Amino acid sequence: MPRFAANLTLLFTELPFLDRFEAAAEAGFDAVEVLFPYEDAAPEVQRRLAAFGLHMVLINTPPPNWTGGARGFAAIPDGQDRFRHDFKRALRFAHAFNATHLHIMAGVADGDAARSIFVENLTWAAAEAPKQSLTIEPINQGDMPGYFLSDYDLAADILGEVNAPNLGLQFDAYHAHKITGDMPATWKKVKHLTRHIQIGGLPDRHEPLAGVIDYPAWFQGLDDGGYDGWVSGEYHPAGRTEDGLSWIKGFD
């Protein structure tokens, strides 16, 4: 089975944020990700990671206000100062947590100006943080209307243009199905670009069980294909988080 991580922004929300680390470790996870770890003091998060033997797989560059606010700044033509400021801050958090990946959020934008500023900002960020793995993630338009990056061909073109060894694709299987209608075929096209995977069930982003996407078969394919990155559960549990974790234990 792949190496699984728990997204603590979406999982274990029965508990206050800082208590989710212990719950994830007790449930059998060795690693976690947190979308926006900017509201709690970094040393407190570090303490929880160490106390429960957890690795931080990923954090995101910050939007100012996640609830109904901006979705990032990397592709916003007049948002470059904001992006660079936020990126430096995000990098400090990523270093403090020893996070494997930092996901750069593009924001809501479209057109040629957005594409060029995205390439320019990614090129700058990759040079600014040569030792940090950076990712970009296509997100479906239903969940995030107007998000700049919602196309795998565009993501592949941009990665090719930036051509930085520390920048790669974040492949969210739930978004992939929503965007292309054929997640396994999309995976085959982009797996060579991918450095992090996220999963969730279809159609409602609940547990990644067999269904629209045959996750048991896909996990086997990841193993057979030698994928050695993390696979993170990023979904809204249908009930109690613990009651829906059969996917980390081989679907028993």
Our finding on whether 207 is near ligand LASSHYVV (CB under 6 A) is no
Binding mask 131-170 for ligand LASSHYVV (x = CB under 6 A): ------x-x-------------------------------
* Number of CB atoms found within 10 A of residue 85's CB: 12
Among 198, 215, 231, 247, indicate the residue that binds Mg ion (CB under 5 A): 198
Among 6, 31, 35, 199, indicate the residue that binds ligand LASSHYVV (CB under 6 A): 35
Do the strands 133-136 and 230-233 form a parallel or antiparallel pair, or are they unpaired? unpaired
Query: Are the CB atoms for 56 and 33 separated by under 8 Å?
Result: yes
Our finding on whether 172 is near Mg ion (CB under 5 A) is yes
Enter the DSSP assignment of 240. Answer: -
Our finding on whether 234 is near ligand LASSHYVV (CB under 6 A) is yes
Nearer residue to Mg ion within complex by CB, 121 or 198: 198
DSSP for 108-162 reads: B--SHHHHHHHHHHHHHHHHH-TTSEEEE----TTTSTTBS---HHHHHHHHHHH
User: Which residue is associated with the tokens 């303490």?
Assistant: 47
End-to-end CA distance of the chain: 13
Binding mask 89-128 for ligand LASSHYVV (x = CB under 6 A): --------------x-------------------------
- Residue 81: which H helix or E strand, with range? helix 80-97
Nearer residue to ligand LASSHYVV within complex by CB, 43 or 198: 198
| Contacted entry of ligand LASSHYVV, Mg ion, none for residue 60, CB cut-off 5 to 8 Å set by kind | ligand LASSHYVV
Active site residue 137: yes
Residue 32 Cα to chain centre, angstroms: 11
Out of 26, 120, 137, 242, which one is annotated catalytic?
137
Active site residue 234: yes
| Contacted entry of ligand LASSHYVV, Mg ion, none for residue 59, CB cut-off 5 to 8 Å set by kind | none
CA distance 44 to 224: 38
Contact positions toward Mg ion, by CB under 5 A? 172, 198, 234
Q: Would you please indicate which residues are annotated as catalytic (active-site) residues?
A: 137, 234
